[in-house]
Amino acid sequence: MSTYKSEDQRKVTTHRLAEMKQRKEKISMLTAYDYSMASIIDQAGMDVILVGDSASNVICGNVTTLPITLDEMIFLAKGVVKAAKRALVVVDMPFGSCSGNPRMSLEAAIRIMKEAGAEALKIEGGVEIAEDIKKIIDAGIPVMGHLGLMPQSINKYGTYTVRAKEDAESEKLLSDAKLLEELGCFAVVLEKIPAQLAKQVTESLKIPTIGIGAGQHTDGQVLVMQDMLGISQGFSPRFLRRYADLNSIINMAVQQYISDVKSCDFPNENEQY
Ligand code: KIV
């Protein structure tokens, strides 16, 4: 197994992500939702930790990302922020908190920044929420855009299949990406779109693109931690590479513990006072 750890221990900033794009250094990004896992991920050298609204699925057990609330996102983000010494911490604005009412969107954004200590926000959507994004950026809050498959719009799409395969949708995506850059976003996530379109977007923008299911030409990659560590089950899209099988490892450890308790093997004489 080959490993990589940057010698540069300075805090990652939005400015440094721009420099990484310029010198063609790929950006690593992974989700985390609690202090313990975020500490491990930060110490391993991750560039960006995303407190994704995928927490709705992998932490809260919901079927979609829609139910998670602003309060729940803030609660989770607080632990991650405390853990991240080097990584930039980006927090998702949950469904309904940024949807066409710029004043309310700014209020929600300020809550995440103030109460969780987030360093940047991620927002799903393009031209439809341009005014919201502008207001948030104007208030001094860094924003990462999110285009392509936007899970908060699952009820509109009706399916989690690859987006922007047709000309009209790919043209809109390209124009939304350029708009996000003009508005001042510092990066944009491209989820589940054809690799050639992601390449075109990446080459058209000065800001970094971070892909998930968008091929190898984006400036960085992001995965959901539970998926890449093999904790989640029954989710195996083509783009997902599993780096561990923690589900089996945890299951074996827990079974061993149960067996040791039942057989009175645990605790032994050295494990008591
Ligand atoms: O919520 C999330 O985890 C995300 C990533 C999949 C990009 O938005």
Q: Which of 31, 60, 146 to mutate to test the pocket of ligand 1 (most atoms within 8 A of CB)?
A: 31
Ligand 1 mutation target, pool 29, 54, 149, 228, most atoms within 8 A of CB: 54
User: 34-42: which pairs have CB atoms within 8 A and are 24 or more residues apart?
Assistant: 34/76, 34/79, 34/80, 35/79, 35/80, 35/82, 35/83, 36/83, 37/225, 38/79, 38/80, 38/83, 38/84, 38/87, 39/83, 41/87, 41/225, 42/83, 42/84, 42/85, 42/86, 42/87
| CA nearest neighbour of 95 among 150, 141, 45 | 150
Q: How far apart are CA 49 and CA 86, in angstroms?
A: 10
Q: Which atom of ligand 1 is nearest to the CA of 29?
A: 7
Active site residues: 191
Global confidence as pTM: 0.97
Q: What is the pLDDT of residue 61?
A: 97
- Cα 206 → chain centroid: 21
* Residues framing ligand 1 (Cβ under 6 A): 31, 50, 52-54, 92, 189, 191, 212, 222, 224
pLDDT in the model for residue 173: 98
CA 141 to chain centroid, in Å, comes to 17
Binding site annotation covers 165?
A: no
Q: Which pLDDT score is estimated for 6?
A: 86
Amino acid at 88: L
Q: How much distance in Å is there from the Cα of 95 to the middle of ligand 1?
A: 13
Please list the residues that pair with 191 across neighbouring strands. Answer: 148, 212
Split at pLDDT 50, 70, 90, the class of 5 is confident
What is the pLDDT confidence band of residue 8, given thresholds at 50, 70 and 90?
confident
Span 9-48, pLDDT tens digits: 899 999 999 999 999 999 999 999 999 999 999 999 999 9
How sure is the predictor about 239, in pLDDT bands with cuts at 50, 70 and 90?
Answer: very high
Tens digit of pLDDT for each residue in 145-197? Answer: 999 999 999 999 999 999 999 999 999 999 999 999 999 999 999 999 999 99
Please tell me the residue having the least CA distance from ligand 1 atom 3: 52
> What pLDDT does residue 7 have?
82
Q: Ligand 1: which residue has its CA nearest to atom 5?
A: 52
Percent pLDDT > 90 in the chain is 96
* Ligand 1 atom closest to residue 189's alpha carbon, by position in its atom list: 7
Residue whose CA is at the smallest distance from ligand 1 atom 8: 52
